[in-house]
Amino acid sequence: MPAPALTSRPAAARTVTTVRSDTAGELLDLVPARAGLSWVRRGEGLVGWGEAARLEVSGPSALADAAAWWDEYTAGLDVADDLAVAGSGPVLFGSIAFDPVAATSVFVVPEVVVGRRDGVGWITTVGAAPAELPLPAPLDGGAPRLRYADGALDPATWCAAVDAAVARIDAGDLEKVVLARDLLVSAEPALDPRRLLRRLGARFPDCWTFAVDGLLGATPELLLRRTGRQLSSRVLAGTAARGAGAEDDRLAAALLGSTKDRAEHTLAVDSLVRALEPYCSRLTAPAEPELLTLANVRHLATDVVGTQRGTAGLLELVGAVHPTAAVCGTPTPDAAALIRELEGMDRGRYAGPVGWMDARGDGEFGLALRCAELTPDGGARLFAGCGIVAGSEPAAELAETQAKFAAFQNALEG
């Protein structure tokens, strides 16, 4: 097991001020071209910029180390907070590796955060950061010229990996495994993250548009929200493409009635519930999933809600529920081992928790899906995956990844 690695860069500033401000327009319009941070849904949420402090951490105790670092950082702050609502005061953005033990997770305390919740807006500043809002910067030029290339596995090789996974499932080795692909994009001129975030937010308003340390996307899946002692999660598993007219209705009905997709969804819900039960005095999940309809696909969705007992912090809870069957498989150790064997790539922070938390312990973490990692050459690495269960067909699973890639490609190409 690798030894823990922790690199932190705390700032000298120890004063944090939050004031109400309802003058901000679209939050995503405020995100800068470099090192912007975002967690926005339906025009509300948080955006930030600058780095008052930063932590990079890996190893067996990565999330516990991060929680202790955040507690120590916030304990020494002089905070003036006019609102005292979830997301006001000091805020930590985080992008956690899919495997926090082996890969690096990144946590950033912005110098400036602009937030909006239930129509109420605010600005939080650390130290001497300016309290006034910047003017939204216009985007230069049009869409870049793009070239795509296969990532770790070409489509035929990836389909062979799906076949191998189904054979292992049929042999009784495991019930489900999530296999992902990556797609490489080069761009001229370099990709502008502001353009990508604005287009993602406009096309997928019901998703959480996120950006942390070069990983950005629009995730439909909320891993865990904590507000006081109230916990909630949105589990997604089972996907179908969209169609036109009557065909769209037919595809929706087929997804809702699909034995294969319902079984995959049940595994994902059960894995989350089992992980959360020890931390909750009450936990409820509907018996039947609903349909979540997005611009390009539909998902089976279940909203799980509970009341926390005990003293576990948000990062401990996140570590307890991740990875769910929705991004790894069932049983988790067997699925994780098969991913390492068949997937052929390092996921990094793809499919890991991404989101924010405040000094009160409130926060929201989704799963980094429908996303891309910006690369130093101005391009990006895109990711898409799907759940493999008994009866999965490689061609259909490949088509599902292509539909998920399209969510980000639309933002790239527009």
The one catalytic residue in 221, 264, 343, 364 is 221
Tell me the two tokens of residue 93: 């953005």
Q: Residue 183: CA atoms inside 13 Å, Cβ hemisphere, count?
A: 23
Instruction: Concatenate the DSSP letters of all residues of 125-189 into one string.
Output: EETT---SPPPPPPPPSSPPEEEEEE-SS-HHHHHHHHHHHHHHHHTTS-SEEEEEEEEEEEEES
Instruction: Concatenate the DSSP letters of all residues of 228-259 into one string.
Output: TTEEEEEEEEEEEE--STHHHHHHHHHHHT-H
The one catalytic residue in 26, 175, 176, 404 is 176
Q: Residue 352: CA atoms inside 13 Å, Cβ hemisphere, count?
A: 26
- Check residue 173 and give left, alpha or beta (phi > 0: left; psi -120 to 50: alpha): alpha
- Report the distance separating Cα 410 and Cα 201, nearest Å: 12
- What is the SS3 assignment for 202? helix
- Report the distance separating Cα 381 and Cα 374, nearest Å: 6
Please report which residue ranges of 294-374 form alpha helices under DSSP H. 314-321, 332-342
Tell me the two tokens of residue 414: 């527009």
* Residue 348 DSSP code: T
Give the dihedral sign, CA 137/143/146/152: positive
**221 annotated active-site:** yes
**176 annotated active-site:** yes
The catalytic residues are 176, 221
